[in-house]
C-alpha cells in the first residue's frame, strides 16, 4: 500500500509537469493549429535561466519571475520571427519550422550557458513529508499546487476575459473570429507568449527535482505532446488529464512492470487511444469526411 501511495505521489508530480507542457501545446494548437515542437525548449529555458540567475546570487523569487518573463519574450519573438511569416505554409512545413526553432534555442543555450547540468534550489527545503509510509517532497506540492492555480487562472482567463475569449473564438473558427473583430494576429502572438510562459513555469517548478541542462527540452516536449494527444489536442481538460495519466502510467509501469519499457508504454497506449478514439480522450469536433 505504501508502495502504491509512493508511486501515486511520484506519478502525480511528474504528471503535473507533463500537464503544464501539454497545456502549452494545446494553447498554441488552439490558437493556430500549430504543434509547437519547440515547447519543450521553453520548459528547458525557464529552468536554465532561473538556475543561472540564482547561481549568480539573485534571490530565488526574483530569478523565477525573471525566467518566466524572459521565456515569454522568447515565445513572442518566435511567433513574430518564425511562425507569423509562414502562416500559410502547410502542416509539415510548420512542424519543420518549430523543430528548427527548437534547435536554435537549444544551440544558443548550449553556447551561452554551457553544456553542464544545473540545479535550482528547492522552493521550501528538501525535507520530505511522510504520508502513510510514503514520502513527498515539498517541491512536489509546489508543482501540483501551481499547476492547479495555473489551470484555474486559465479557466478564468478563457471564460471571462476578452483576449481569452478571442483565443477560443479563433480556435473555433478563424474566419468567423476575424469577422466579429478579433485581431487574429494578436491572438496568435498572445498564445505563443502565454504558452512560453507556461512552459517556463513548468521548467522552473521541475528544475529543483529533476535538474536541467540545455538538452532537457526534447524529451519533456515529446512527453508533453504525448500527454496533449492522450487528452485530445486543443482540449484544456484533456491536457491536464493526459499529463497526469501519462505520469501515472510511467511510474506505475516502472514500479510494477518493467522500468526498461516504461518509456515505451505511453507510446503504445497513445497508439491504442488514437486507434480507438482518433481525437484523443477529450478531443472534440466533427469527424472530417468531406
User: What are the Cα distances from residue 87, in Å, to 33, 76, 79, 93?
Assistant: 10, 15, 10, 10
Q: Which of 142, 229, 240, 243 binds other proteins (CB under 8 A)?
A: 229
Q: Which of 6, 30, 54, 147 binds other proteins (CB under 8 A)?
A: 6
Shortest Cβ 240–other proteins spacing (Å): 18
Distance CA 19, CA 239 (A): 6
Chain centroid to Cα 122, Å, comes to 20
Shortest Cβ 40–other proteins spacing (Å): 11
**Considering only residues 119-138, where is the footprint of other proteins by CB under 8 A?**
119, 126, 128, 130, 135, 137
Stretches 161-169, 178-186, 210-218, 237-245: which one binds other proteins (CB under 8 A)?
210-218
User: What are the Cα distances from residue 116, in Å, to 148, 198, 206?
Assistant: 32, 24, 17
Distance CA 179, CA 208 (A): 46
Shortest Cβ 123–other proteins spacing (Å): 14
Shortest Cβ 168–other proteins spacing (Å): 19
226 binds other proteins (CB under 8 A): yes
Q: Which is nearer to other proteins, 161 or 259 (CB)?
A: 259
* Number of amino acids touching other proteins (CB under 8 A): 84
- Mark 244-283 with x for binding to other proteins (rule: CB under 8 A) and - for no binding: ------xxx-xx---xxxxxx--xx-xx--xx--xxx---
**Considering only residues 78-107, where is the footprint of other proteins by CB under 8 A?**
82, 85-86, 88-97, 99-107
- Mark 163-192 with x for binding to other proteins (rule: CB under 8 A) and - for no binding: ------------------------------
Q: Which of 73, 110, 132, 153 binds other proteins (CB under 8 A)?
A: 110
Q: Yes or no: say if 17 and 217 are a contact pair by the CB < 8 Å rule.
A: no
Q: Which of 62, 69, 73, 115 binds other proteins (CB under 8 A)?
A: 115
Q: Which of 116, 175, 179, 180 binds other proteins (CB under 8 A)?
A: 116
Cell of 213: 541542462
Shortest Cβ 160–other proteins spacing (Å): 29
Cell numbers 481569452 correspond to 164
State the helix-helix crossing angle for 91-113 and 39-55, rounded to 10 degrees.
10
Cell of 54: 540564482
Q: Which is nearer to other proteins, 193 or 208 (CB)?
A: 208
Q: Count Cβ neighbours within 10 Å for each residue of 224-261 and write b for 16 or more, e otherwise.
A: bbbbbbbbbbbbbebbbbbbbbbbbbbbbbbbeeeeee
Closest CA to 204 of 150, 134, 262: 150
DSSP assignment letter at 124:
T
Amino acid at each position: 500500500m505504501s508502495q502504491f501511495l509512493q508511486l501515486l505521489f511520484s506519478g502525480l508530480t511528474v504528471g503535473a509537469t507533463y500537464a503544464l507542457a501539454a497545456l502549452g501545446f494545446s494553447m498554441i494548437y488552439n490558437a493556430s493549429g500549430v504543434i509547437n515542437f519547440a515547447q519543450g525548449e521553453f520548459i528547458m529555458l525557464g529552468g536554465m535561466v532561473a538556475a543561472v540567475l540564482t547561481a549568480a546570487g539573485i534571490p530565488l523569487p526574483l530569478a523565477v519571475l525573471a525566467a518566466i518573463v524572459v521565456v515569454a519574450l522568447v515565445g513572442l519573438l518566435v511567433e513574430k520571427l518564425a511562425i507569423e511569416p509562414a502562416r500559410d505554409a502547410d502542416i509539415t512545413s510548420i512542424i519543420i519550422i518549430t523543430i528548427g526553432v527548437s534547435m536554435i534555442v537549444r544551440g544558443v543555450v548550449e553556447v551561452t550557458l554551457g553544456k553542464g547540468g544545473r540545479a535550482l534550489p528547492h522552493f521550501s527545503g528538501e525535507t520530505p513529508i511522510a504520508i502513510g509510509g510514503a514520502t513527498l517532497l515539498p517541491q512536489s506540492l509546489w508543482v501540483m499546487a501551481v499547476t492547479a492555480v495555473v489551470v484555474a487562472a486559465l479557466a478564468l482567463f478563457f471564460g471571462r476575459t476578452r483576449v481569452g475569449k478571442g483565443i477560443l473564438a479563433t480556435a473555433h473558427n478563424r474566419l468567423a473570429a476575424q469577422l466579429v473583430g478579433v485581431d487574429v494576429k494578436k491572438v496568435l502572438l498572445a498564445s505563443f507568449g502565454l504558452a512560453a510562459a507556461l512552459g517556463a513555469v513548468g521548467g522552473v517548478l521541475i528544475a529543483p527535482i529533476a535538474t536541467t541542462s540545455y538538452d532537457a527540452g526534447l524529451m519533456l516536449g515529446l512527453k508533453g505532446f504525448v500527454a496533449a494527444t492522450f487528452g485530445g489536442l486543443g482540449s484544456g481538460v484533456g491536457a491536464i488529464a493526459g499529463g497526469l495519466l501519462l505520469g501515472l502510467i510511467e511510474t506505475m509501469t516502472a514500479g510494477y512492470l518493467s522500468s526498461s519499457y516504461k518509456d515505451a508504454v505511453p507510446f503504445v497506449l497513445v497508439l491504442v487511444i488514437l486507434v480507438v478514439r482518433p481525437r484523443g480522450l477529450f478531443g472534440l469536433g466533427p469527424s472530417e469526411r468531406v
